[in-house]
Structure 1
Amino acid sequence: MYKNIILGFSAAFLVACGNPVEVTQPPVNVTHTQSTKKNLQRYQPVTISSRVKEGKNNKLTAAQCQLQADTFRAAFTTPAIVRIPIYGVSSEHLLVTCKIGNRSKTVTREPYNETLANVRSSGSGGGLIGAIVASGIAAGRGNRKGDTWAYQDIQVDFK
């Protein structure tokens, strides 16, 4: 019985989140524009897509894009998966500029502490008290050396 309840919630969650963007091209590697003394931890695949508003609907569409950071950049057509370097707490802010015809849109993205986010969300299963306790732990712990940093996927919306 519990298995069916869990499956039902999982299916509802997946429907609510929408369909993932289908990327047919190989992942795009960034070009490093200058050397850095930052400690490279890994490369994270980040999906970047673009939408155009048509009436009341949003339609996925291809756009020519440039991604820029302090020490790297990339050029690609959306939808794309771009392999972004992760430098822990020193991970860089991203600036993504996309063009469709004569229209241009710029989006910024900051890295976030995934470890800290997981600590905060771990208390949500314990109701209000659990959420309060987890938030207090997260606030007191701050950023630590071994924490995992990441970027969320990027959606560029043309209105």
Structure 2
Amino acid sequence: MKKSILLATAVALLAACSETPVTQRSIPVTPTDSLTATGLDVYGYARANGNTAPRFRGTGFLKVRTTASRSGIAYSEVTGASCNLDAGLFVASFQTPANIIVPDYGPDSPAIVVTCTDNEGRTATTTSDVTNLTKQRRGPSSLTAGLFGTVRNTEKDDFGYNPITLTLQ
């Protein structure tokens, strides 16, 4: 009896850890002011007219997932939650799980707010700031570099958003 309970618990925990594949196409954001944007580059028009604007480095992907408590014991992924992404300069609406195509302005990329709600009315909101992915990949060595007075130029570093998993409540 104890072995079957342990086995059932282990199976439930492993199921909670597995990710549902993203089967829908990647979803591009929509600039909030289409008159000042060139494609996904929300500063494209300003830059083309010689105004100072953050450098457009192309696009990146943001993976968004949702989880919720199942029977009060374990958390598992929720598919089909309706979500809205808002960064002030661009927005997107989608269902989870999803890969969102976002403009990359390096360290000048705006913070984004994602709000999701499932069909049971559970909701969650989070804010995500852009991250220096190059520094993140380097790990602890980047911490010691500052101790020895080394100053790095981050102009060529990769920036982006870490994957978001919202826990619906």
Judge same fold: TM > 0.5, yes or no: yes
Aligned length: 132
Residue 64 of structure 2 contacts residue 99 of structure 2 at CA under 8 Å; is this kept in 1? yes
More helix as a share of residues: 1
Instruction: State the match for 1:7 in structure 2.
Output: none
The TM-score, its normalising length taken from structure 1, stands at: 0.73
Show the 5 A alignment for 1:2-13: none
- Going from structure 1 to structure 2, the CA distance change for 1:48 and 1:99 (only over 3 Å counts) comes to same
RMSD over aligned Cα, in angstroms?
2.1
Instruction: State the match for 1:27 in structure 2.
Output: 26
Q: What stretches of structure 1 move > 4 A for 4+ residues in a row? A: none
Structure 2 unpaired stretches of 5+? 1-13, 37-42, 44-52
Seq. identity, %: 25
Q: 1:46 aligns with which of 50, 53, 62?
A: 62
Letter aligned with residue 27 of structure 1:
S
- Going from structure 1 to structure 2, the CA distance change for 1:118 and 1:20 (only over 3 Å counts) comes to same
The TM-score, its normalising length taken from structure 2, stands at: 0.69
Structure 1 unpaired stretches of 5+? 1-14, 124-133
Instruction: State the match for 2:5 in structure 1.
Output: none
Give the deviation of 1:46 after TM superposition.
Answer: 1.5
Q: Deviations over 1:13-55 (max 9, x none)?
A: xx9xx54441111110100113323221121122111111112
More strand as a share of residues: 1
Residue 117 of structure 2 contacts residue 168 of structure 2 at CA under 8 Å; is this kept in 1? no
Structure showing greater radius of gyration is: 2
Residue 113 of structure 1 contacts residue 150 of structure 1 at CA under 8 Å; is this kept in 2? yes
